[in-house]
Amino acid sequence: MSSTNLSEQYSSFVTQTGKGQEFHFAANLSGIHNEDGTVEFNDSGLVIITFNSIEDFAKHYILGEKTAHLESYYVADRQDDGSLTFLGATYNDADLAIESDGDNIFTKPVTVLS
């Protein structure tokens, strides 16, 4: 795909994805442009990626540019009794977002430049 087409896709996505709006790239790739301007992107339910802005998100996913963002990884399930069953390696509570609602436990966000 030409850089002109990518630039057009970038501009179109940024202008058409307003705050509070959800978007989908595929059945398992979805996100929301939050009211505070950040973007939360769910990659197949395995990684939650947070970008500072819709522009940063579009630069990363549409233009393929490296952008700083936060990543949280799905690593455990919360059982009915409150215990955790890890999917692979075990983690210390300090590394987990265990205070979050729901049964899926993610790591605390880490900053990534990719």
Q: What is the pLDDT of residues 80-107, one digit of tens each?
A: 998 999 999 999 999 999 888 889 999 9
How far does Cα 82 stand from its chain's mean position?
25
Helix (H) or strand (E) holding 19: none
Total tally of structural domains belonging to the chain: 1
Q: Range of 52's domain?
A: 3-113
Residue 67 has pLDDT above 90, yes or no: yes
For position 4, what pLDDT does the model report? 67
For the residues 39-45, what does the mean pLDDT come to? 96
Residue 25 has pLDDT above 90, yes or no: no
Mean pLDDT to the nearest integer, 25-34: 92
Question: Given this model, what pLDDT does residue 3 score?
Answer: 62
Burial of 89 (0-12, 13-18, 19+ CB in 10 A): exposed
Mean pLDDT, range 34-51, rounded to an integer: 97
**Strand, coil or helix: 80:** coil
pTM: 0.87
